[in-house]
Structures are given as C-alpha cells and as structure tokens.
Structure 1
Amino acid sequence: MDSLVSTEWLANEMGASDLRIVDATWVMAGQGDPAADHERAHIPGAVFLDLEDVRDTAAPLPMMLPPAEKFASRMQSLGLGDGSRIVIYDNSPYRTAARAWFMFRTFGAHDVAILDGGFAKWQAEGREVASGREAPRHRHFTAWADRKQVRALDDMKANLNSGAEQVVDARSASRFSGEEPEPRAEIAAGHIPGSVNVPIARLFEADGTYKSAEDIAGVFEAAGVDINKPIVTTCGSGVTAAVLAFALHLLGKDAALYDGSWTEWGADPSTPKEKSAA
C-alpha cells in the first residue's frame, strides 16, 4: 500500500479483511464537533480517532505524544491492531490525518496511508457514506515506540548552535512573521531564529489533494529548504508540522518533528524569538 491513496483505490479495497479506515478529524476548540460530524456521516467502516483522547494528558502542552501503552490501548479499542492496513482521512483545515499518520509510525504501525483529498473529496464524488458509530472487534496492538524522529525543547535549543537540522515552520506566514498574534494569549509571536516558513496550504491543489512530488519539492526549495539535508518540522502545537513531515515522506525524506512546537517555544522566557517578514 502506498503512503498516499486515492478515493478510487479505497473504494475498490473496501471490505478487505485487513483494511481499517480511520477518521482523524480534529479542529481547534470552538470550531466544531468532529465526533458528532463523524456520527452523522463517515466512510463506511471508519472508526473515529479522537486526537484529543490520545495525547499525553500529563503534559502541560496541548497535543504531546502519549506513552506507547496509552496509544496501544486506544488503538485496540478501535479495532486497530498488528497486521492491519490503515487508511486515515480527515475533514479538517489542518489536515490532521497527517498527525495521526505520524503517531502510527512513531508507535510501530508502518502499513499506514492517508486518503488523498480526505472526506471532502469522497463526498464530492458522491461515494457511499454511513452514519452512527462502528462497533469494531478488539484487536491486539503491540505497545512499542521509536522516537528517533521526535524532537524536544533541549534538542531544538542545541540545534540553534549546531544548525544540524533545518527548521521548517508550518504556520501561516503572518503568524510566522509575528504580524499576527498567537491564538493562545500566553504565547509570544514570532518564530524560532533561523527557521523558514512553509505554510501547509502551499502543498495542496484546489481540490484538497496533495500536489505532485515535483511541485512539493519546488515548494520547499522556494522557501530555501534543502530537502537533501536533515529537517525538523514545527508549527503551533505539533499537528500541522506532521503535514510537512508527510509531504517530505512523499519525497522519500524522513523529517523529524518538534512535538512541543511554538506553544512550548513561544511560552518559554528562556528561548530566543525572532520576528521578520516570512
């Protein structure tokens, strides 16, 4: 299974015994109720993965990766287990299927794909939808984690001096430059010194599908990113940073992700902040 699959491919694979479909829609507080939307309409057989429910609730930051055991437990209850082929979709402006994809890979599931165009494209094509909640059979998901592609605050501070990894920020140009205040009042505006800006909207076609590999490479290169050198992605809270990581994965590049992202960096009085034109 490719990492990015089409709606046509998924429609043809529906009913395969090892296929699991996951709705990983997430939005900011006050922007809607993805769980209720899922109950009203979802791709047949899809289960709802609540990203709020699989975060590290012991962490002071909003969307940190959970312990492996917690992730495995949540996946088992959704019928997602070892040996499953998992296709993730969303209906979010933040393209949150990518965050779920990053989490699955971190916690040991590698036969995982994103549905190109998401639920919006599926619906626009008039494909079948279901309502209510699926009742999946519990499956074993091995608790395991490989955090080599995850960066913490100390890693990012050290990188300021070493420059070992290029830092690419997924937020909007106005938030990156500091012209627009952060949505969280306690967070300073601006960006990590030396980082560059690739807003996620630049990676998609008008219909919500990912651009071609050639065009994605061009987007990064236009921003001053050398895709052949190490990269760490960042954003507001670690969610849209995963979109950059997935886009780079489509180019055959494994990027790291700063899990605390600007919510952590911008709130820390000891970290340097930069404001400039994006």
Structure 2
Amino acid sequence: MALDDPKTLVSTEWLARHIKDPDLRILDASWYLPGSDRDAQAEYESAHIPGARFFDIDDVSDQRSDLPHMVPPVEKFMSRMRALGVGDGHQVVVYDGSGLFSAARVWWLFKLMGQDDVAVLDGGFPKWQAEGREIEDMPPVIRDRHMTVRRQNQMVKDVTQVSSAAKLKDTEIVDARAASRFRGDAPEPRPGLRAGHIPGSRNVPFATLLEENGTMKAPEALRGVFEDAGVDLSKPVITSCGSGVTAAILNLALTRMGKVDHSLYDGSWSEWGQFPTLPVATGDN
C-alpha cells in the first residue's frame, strides 16, 4: 500500500475520506492512444467520481503546434482551469480510466505550472469502481477560481536540449514506451514515425513501475526497476515516451523516490521520430 502524499499519490481510501472537503477538486484526465476505440469524454459523461470535472488533455494544449498535446501557453492553462473551477488554495486529485496512465501527465502539467497540491489517484477509476465506491453521471457545479501560475521551466525539455543531452551523455534519457517499440520491433501507433529510440537512452516501460492491480510500486521497488534498466540515478533524468503522456509516470515515480532533478521531453517520439536528421538507435542499446 502506497503512503498517501497529497503532492504525489493518494489512495482510493484517502480520496473517499476527503471527497467532501470544500477545497478538493477532482479531475478525470482519461486519455487513450489512437486506435484504442475508447472515448474519454463519453465515458466521463456516463460515469465518474462524484464532483469530478473532465480535463481534456488534447484541448488543454498548445494548438499552434503540429505535435500532439504539447504544453499549453500559461494564459491558456489559467483560463481553462478557471473554467473548470480549479485555482489557488485547491487540493487537486487527478485520475484516469486506465488505472494509472494519463493522469500523471496532468499531475506533471500542474507541477510545471507551479501548483504543488496535486496528486494522482493510485489505481484510478478502475480501482475506485472495483471497490464499489460511489459514482455519478451529473456534471459538477463550477465556480470560477483564480490560479496563480509560476512556470517551472526546468521541468520540460525541447528537442534541442534532448539532442545535446544525448551527445554529452551527462543526463539519463529514459523512455517509457513498451520494449518492442523502444527496440524498433513494433510499429509506432502514429503514422510517419521511424521505429527505435534516442541513442543512449534507457528503457523503463511505464507498466514495470506498476503492480498487477494498476497501483504504483513502493519507492524502493521503483528504484530497483530504474537501476535494473541501467539508469544511473546520480545523473539528472529526462523522461520520454510516444507523445509525452506516459513519460510523466516516470516523473511521478522519480518524485516518489525523492529524486528532484528530472524533466520531461514534451515532444517525445512524436517529434524525434519524424525528423530524418536526428539519429535513431534500434535494439536494446
């Protein structure tokens, strides 16, 4: 059982105890890979945790970019959160319909925007439902709340910074995709991308950080997963994945382990894999 920490990860028991707290805000951040045949918005409208608001990862993004769900401008994030009634003084809990998949991306986005009191629901909506806890299909009553944003630029990296880190080898680049995609054996779910990984990067598939029931492993076990993958935890870490969603699960795990010098490559493989001028490695190294 993970220790409850309202800045990283909380249990369904914790949420059930606090669900009536006036300053609690719950966000359904469900998002599914292209081709999964799941509609996150429709699923939210049919059933969600009482009081939850739907956080649309594709909408709360930088629409000026050709890449999927890139970090939004600060002003857009603030306006979208105001519309959701999420702001200063709120404790935010984020969950998703897979267990622990896309919720970590929204947790990381809040941290990037300088919001500290935000946690992921361990095990997400599947665990909540499996325990027979209350659900509803009613939209919440929303009141505007201002949010003060202080963007933490060190938490996000662009392609130039990642390319430099790969050349200098002074930072561990850790890829959260499945091993078959990392090696280049399996095709990417998005068309037009080369297969493989950033040269010198390590592979920690996000699923290896989770227990069979979809909850996150304990901090010492998480550390073991990273070390077994050859990650030198004395170095700063940049996380990556297909499009910057599951990479955030690695950031959440690293934070749970007490590591602070880590960031996320926002463009991830959706960006790196499309540029023929960037080097690509295949196989296990």
Q: Which residue of 2 aligns with 1:155?
A: 161
Q: How many residue pairs end up in the alignment?
A: 278
Q: What CA distance in whole angstroms lies between the structure 2 residues aligned with 1:33 and 1:274?
A: 34
Report the identity percentage. Answer: 51
* 2:198 aligned to which of 172, 185, 192: 192
Residue 177 in structure 1 maps to residue 158 in structure 2: no
Match for 1:91 among 84, 91, 97? 97
| 1:41 aligned residue (19, 43, 47) | 47
Paired residue for 2:3? Answer: none
Give the conservation status (yes or no) of the 8 Å contact 2:49–2:134.
Answer: yes
1:19 to 2:53 alignment: no
Structure 2 CA distance, aligned partners of 1:115 and 1:165? Answer: 30
User: Which amino acid in structure 2 is aligned with residue 229 of structure 1?
Assistant: K
Instruction: Say if 1:157 and 1:94 are closer, same or farther in 2 by CA, change over 3 A.
Output: same
**Residue in structure 2 matched with residue 204 of structure 1 by the alignment:** 210
User: 2:100·2:122 contact (CA, 8 Å) conserved in 1?
Assistant: no
User: Which blocks of at least 5 consecutive residues in structure 1 are unaligned?
Assistant: none
Q: Secondary structure at the match of 1:148?
A: helix
Q: 2:277 aligned to 264, 270, 277, which one?
A: 270
Post-superposition offset of 1:143 = 3.9
> How much has 1:104 moved relative to structure 2?
0.3
Letter in 1 for 2:26: I
Q: Which moved more, 1:28-37 or 1:231-240?
A: 28-37
My pick for the range that moved more, 30-39 or 238-247, is: 30-39
Q: Are 2:182 and 2:282, in contact at CA under 8 Å, matched by a contact in 1?
A: yes
CA offsets 1:45-100 (integer angstroms, 9 cap, x no match): 11110101111110111121010000111001001001100011111377111000
Judged with a 3 Å threshold, the aligned counterparts in structure 2 of structure 1 residues 189 and 93 are, in CA distance, closer, same or farther, namely farther
Correspondence for 2:220 among 214, 217, 221: 214
DSSP 3-state at the match of 1:224: coil
Checking the alignment, whether the CA contact within 8 Å between 2:34 and 2:189 is kept in structure 1 is no
- Aligned partner of 1:138 in structure 2 is 144
Shift of 1:102: 0.5
CA shift for structure 1 position 2? 4.4
Q: Is the CA contact 1:200–1:244 (under 8 Å) kept in the aligned structure 2?
A: yes
CA contact (8 A) 2:87 2:145 kept: yes
* Structure 2 CA distance for partners of 1:59 and 1:2, relative to 1, 3 Å: closer
In the alignment, structure 1 residue 258 sits paired with structure 2 residue 272: no
Note if 1:28 corresponds to 2:63.
no
Cα distance in 2 for partners of 1:28, 1:194 equals 26
| CA distance in structure 1 between the aligned counterparts of 2:190 and 2:161, rounded to whole angstroms | 24
Deviation at 1:109, TM superposition (A): 1.0
Deviations 1:127-154 (Å, cap 9, x if unpaired)? 0111132131111112432221111011
Match of 1:118 in 2: 124
**8 Å Cα contact 1:27-1:94 kept in structure 2:** no
TM-score relative to the length of structure 1: 0.97
Letter in 1 for 2:195: A
Counterpart CA distance in 1 for 2:142 and 2:102 is 22
Contact 1:94–1:239 (Cα < 8 Å) also in 2: no
Closer, same or farther: CA 155–83 of 1 in aligned 2, 3 Å: same
Note the C-alpha offset of 1:184: 1.8
1:235 aligns to 2:235 (yes or no): no
Secondary structure at the residue paired with 2:79? helix
The answer as to whether partners of 1:81 and 1:139 remain within 8 angstroms in 2 is yes
Contact 2:240 2:266 survives alignment (8 Å)? yes
Structure 2 contact 98–125 (Cα < 8 Å) conserved: no
1:109 aligned onto 2:115: yes
Other structure's SS at 2:108 match? helix
Larger mean Cα displacement after TM superposition, 141-150 or 54-63: 141-150
* CA RMSD after TM alignment: 1.2
Which residue pairs with 2:14 in the alignment? Answer: 9
Q: Are the structure 2 counterparts of residues 94 and 211 from structure 1 closer, same or farther at C-alpha, using a change threshold of 3 Å?
A: closer
Which stretch shifts more, 190-199 or 21-30?
21-30
